[in-house]
Chain A
Amino acid sequence: MAFAHAGTATASKPGRAGMRIPYLLLLPGLLWLLLFFVLPLINLAETSTKTPIAGGETGAYEQTFRLQNYVDAFSENSAQFSRSFIYALLATVLALAISYPLAYAIAFKSGKYKNILLVLVIAPFFTSFLLRTIAWKQILGEEGPVISILRTFHLIGADTSITATALAVITGMTYNFLPFMTLPIYASLERIDPRLMEASGDLYANGLTTFRRVTFPLSMPGVVAGTLLTFIPAAGDYVNAQILGNPTTKMIGNVIDSRFFRIVDYPTAAALSFTLMAAILILITVYIRRAGTDELI
């Protein structure tokens, strides 16, 4: 949400003694990030080219700078990789389709109920997301209401189910990341000067043209922030695939998790993590360039 606001800052003119103040303010926090974010990533890079020690016990690796690890990791798991990106993309598009009208309604059509509706968008967050995902499993499950309603009206056959399908996984992801999409879009719609929309109307633009030429372009920073905040966690997610999916809906997150914990194959887990992170960062960079908003960073 705050993504959309960040960017502009009023810098003041520090005196001689003031020169040190910003660095003192930055020091503890940046040190923390250096120690527990940057260093682990460097360590991960180092782990990713290790190979098992011949004759050693499980989980013992030595550094051999084997870049082939990356090729192996990717080629063995390319299906899960592409699935992660396709599911994340679908969930992002669906979340955008649900969130944009919702954010628009809250920003422009809700009158005095605006604040209450905003609270309601965040409110589901207060119930553990695992509990809500498990609730979806039961709602979409064999004994749940959705299946029985669809079957009563003969919309699906008796042997069709939703639970443990790709559809359920994507539904769950769309659901879980929806507020991340809605809030930034709302924030950027809210900041639009209503006079701009009035002006468009005065110049004989109809409602649709006003939206297409004025409102939507002005809300782009929110759309960009929202799609990123949805896509990034969705691409690395494995909880929805685990709870709502089946073995054929496994995503890259599931593979990293099991490589790490069940197979203790740290180098492959590290290589996969790096590939995932690199892929996401490249996509983000291209996307931000395309969308033309540098306001985010």
Chain B
Amino acid sequence: MTRWLSKNLIRIYAALAFIYLFIPVAYTMAFSFNDSGKRNLIWQGFTFKNWLNPCGAPEVCTALGNSIKIGFLATLFSTILGTMIAFALGRYSFRGRNTTNLLIFLPMATPEIVLGASLLAMFLNLGINPGFWTTVIAHVMFCISFVVVTVKARIASLDPKLEEAARDLYATEWQTFRRVTLPLVAPGIAAAALLAFSLSFDDFIITNFNSGTVNTFPKFVWVSSARGVPAQANVIGSAMFLIALAIVISAQIYSSAKARRLQKKH
């Protein structure tokens, strides 16, 4: 018994850590089925009605729609800009490299509240009213660095021999990039885009500073938390969780199936 325990101690510890990680998720999901009325604080009974009517609480779907739109635009811009920087850093030597690295690192080392407050102060100074587009601008700004480090890591892990082989086979620089480099870096770009979307979608602090009267899902949750979050917010949170999990798991299955197919061929 003691031997089994000491041998599996670390596994038990990990299992407990996972329970800790999932307690609030389970709680959020459970309370999406609560027959609660307005204040979703105490368990009243099981119901599907919140799931059948996720837009039942006022404003919740407008806020969700804004979050999705902002997330999509922020992901698009930050992935393009960040990937370009990652290629410059990963593939070229140039003057100003260290300064660039520092400029990429600093936004990640700055607390969100400083990023949010400084940007809003500038917008107000310039007489720009914060709203939808100022939020997009802010999100692109803090997502770029995360895209750069993710894509750069992927570029650094590539086998240079593959590109050399393409050049040996008389591929032009553009062909090499288009047919060899880009497909190899693509999973890194996809991961960066997913990361950017989830950072943007879940951001509260910077958004709260720069969105003016535009409501987003985290803002909705924050404002309603004072008097009890409606169960519809739990439905949306749970649905996001299930959708994201499904995407990630099917991507995993797809890539491992592809790896197995490739192994069989050779």
Contact = CB atoms under 8 A, between A and B. Distances in A.
A277 B21 contact: no
B4 interface: no
B153 A43 contact: no
B18 A120 contact: yes
A8 B205 CA distance: 33
A3 B156 CA distance: 13
B13 A130 contact: no
Interface in B213-266: 217-218, 221-222, 225, 229, 233-234, 237-238, 240-241, 243-245, 248-249, 252, 256
Contacts of A153: none
Contacts of B150: 1-2
B189 interface: no
B91 interface: yes
A139 B252 contact: no
Given A40-B118, A40-B121, A5 B156 contact: yes
- Identify whether the interface residues of B are mostly helix, strand, loop, or mixed: helix
A236 interface: yes
A37 B87 CA distance: 21
Contact of A266 (B81, B102, B121, B245): B121
Interface residues of B, number: 91
A139 B23 contact: yes
Given A105-B14, A236-B111, A126 B240 contact: yes
Given A40-B118, A296-B105, A139 B88 contact: no
B122 A39 contact: yes
B198 interface: yes
Contacts of A169: none
A280 interface: yes
B233 A131 contact: yes
Interface in B106-140: 106-115, 117-122, 125, 137-138, 140
Nearest to A259: B117
Nearest to B91: A12
A102 interface: yes
A257 to B, nearest CB: 7
B141 A127 contact: no
A46 to B, nearest CB: 9
Interface in B20-54: 20-25, 27-28, 31, 41-42
A131 B229 contact: yes
Contacts of A29: 81-82, 84-85, 144, 148
Nearest to B84: A25
Contact of A175 (B24, B109, B245): B24
Contacts of B172: none
B186 interface: no
Contacts of B105: 296-297
A238 interface: yes
Given A6-B156, A21-B92, A101-B14, A43 B121 contact: yes
Interface string B97-109: 0001111111111
Contacts of A32: 81, 140-141, 144
A270 interface: yes
Contacts of A11: 91-93
Given A11-B91, A131-B221, A40 B119 contact: yes
Interface stretch (A69-77, A192-200, A213-221, A227-235): A227-235
A123 interface: yes
Given A10-B90, A233-B112, A276-B114, A37 B107 contact: yes
A269 B120 CA distance: 12
A8 B149 CA distance: 11
Contact of A123 (B91, B111, B245): B245
10 contacts: A12-B93, A19-B94, A23-B88, A32-B140, A36-B137, A39-B122, A101-B13, A126-B198, A129-B218, A281-B109
